[in-house]
Amino acid sequence: MKLLSPFHLGNDMINNRIVMAPMTRSRANIDGEVGASTVLYYTQRASAGLIISEAINISKQAIGSPLTPGIYTQSQIQAWKKITQSVHDNGGKIYAQLWHTGRVGHSLVKHGDIPVAPSSIGIQGQKHFTFDGPKDYETPLELTVLQIKAIIQEYKQAAIHSIEAGFDGIELHAANGYLPNQFLAESSNQRSDEYGGSIENRNRFVVEIMEEIVSAIGEKKAGIRLSPTNTNNSIIHHQPIEQFTALINSLNALSLSYLHIMNVPFDTDQFPQYPQHIIEFIDTISEHPIMANCGYTRETGEEELVKGHAAMISYGKLFIANPDLPKRFELNAELNEVDKTTMYSGQDKGYIDYPFLHT
- CATH placement of domain 2-342: 3.20.20.70
245, with CB counted inside 10 A (0-12, 13-18, 19+), is: middle
Confidence (pLDDT) at 132: 87
Instruction: State residue 99 phi and psi, 5-degree precision.
Output: -135, 130
Question: If we measure between CA atoms, which residue out of 320, 315, 331, 313 comes closest to residue 355?
Answer: 320
Strand pairing partners for 122?
none
CA geometry: angle at 175 spanning 171 and 179, to 5°?
95
Confidence (pLDDT) at 359: 58
Catalytic residue ranges? 178
Averages of pLDDT over runs of 10 residues in the chain (359 residues) are 97 96 96 97 98 98 96 98 98 98 96 96 92 92 98 98 98 98 98 98 98 98 97 94 98 98 89 93 97 96 97 98 98 96 90 91
What residues contact residue 306 under an 8 Å CB cut-off, 6+ apart?
Answer: 2
Domain ranges of the chain: 2-342
Confidence (pLDDT) at 268: 82
Averaged pLDDT of the chain = 96
CA geometry: angle at 336 spanning 354 and 345, to 5°?
50
**Ordered alpha helix ranges (H), the chain:** 36-44, 74-89, 145-164, 179-184, 199-217, 240-252, 278-285, 298-307, 317-321, 325-331
Angstrom distance (rounded) from CA 121 to CA 113:
16
pTM of structure: 0.97
